[in-house]
Amino acid sequence: MTHDLVTALRPLLTAEASAEAHASGAEPGDLEQAVWLRLLERLEAQDPPRDPQGWLRRAVRSEARRTRRTTRRERPYAVEPADDADRDPERLALAAARRRALRDAVRRLPGRCPRLMEALLSPQDLTYREIAGELGISQGSLGPERSKCLGCLRRLLTPEVAAR
């Protein structure tokens, strides 16, 4: 039943997500992913929609509104003014060494982790949407991918930190 429902709804979801994505500032794939997740949650709760097509249209619009609200509220982190103690040559040298060690470890990560971590560490303070566009992956996949990459980075850095 679930497979038939997914097969029947896929073209409609693709069309609806494409139509709503531009106005909400989201990627169509991200809207699709969010709606599929909502449908799976309903099916797991044994509460399938009575009118799947109507439910799908409403779900896409709801996700698009949620994305617009989230986008309006997103702000880059504010940079705190530098303290004079941070300008101490010894602290500057230690901070530079830590940054070099981190960048070296990032370059040793597997797969697309180096590109993702470089984008996250970028001084341009890129949003998830910008990073997803730059890497050519779904915005919804960034969180799980980031978690995987941070786990790898943690395993790489643990021996180096323990050796000091």
Task: Supply the pTM of this predicted model.
Answer: 0.48
Residues 63-99 have pLDDT tens digits of 999 988 887 777 766 666 555 556 788 888 888 888 8
Measured between alpha carbons, how far is 31 from 16 in angstroms, rounded to an integer?
A: 9
Last residue of a domain, one of 43, 73, 103: 73
Looking at residue 161, its pLDDT comes to: 58
Please report whether residue 78 resides in a domain: no
Task: Indicate if 68 and 98 belong to the same structural domain.
Answer: no
Q: Long-range contacts of range 33-36, CB-CB < 8 Å, 24 or more positions apart?
A: 33/138, 33/140, 33/141, 34/63, 34/140, 35/59, 35/60, 35/63, 36/6
3: its two tokens: 């497979």
Within 8 A by CB and 6+ apart from 132, the residues are 27, 30, 138, 139, 141, 142
Instruction: Calculate the average pLDDT of the chain.
Output: 85
DSSP states along 102-115: HHHHHHT--TTHHH
Which of 19-28, 66-75, 124-133 is the least confident region? 66-75
Task: Indicate if 69 and 124 belong to the same structural domain.
Answer: no
Q: Domain tally for the chain?
A: 2
Share of the chain above pLDDT 70, in %: 89
Last residue of a domain, one of 41, 73, 105: 73
Residues 90, 94, 96, 97, Cα dihedral to 10°: 140
138: its two tokens: 């779904």
Last residue of a domain, one of 29, 51, 73: 73
Task: Indicate if 89 and 157 belong to the same structural domain.
Answer: yes
Q: C-alpha angle 72/122/81, rounded to 5°?
A: 80
Q: What is the mean pLDDT of residues 49-72?
A: 90
Note down the domain range covering 119. Answer: 85-163
Task: Indicate if 100 and 123 belong to the same structural domain.
Answer: yes
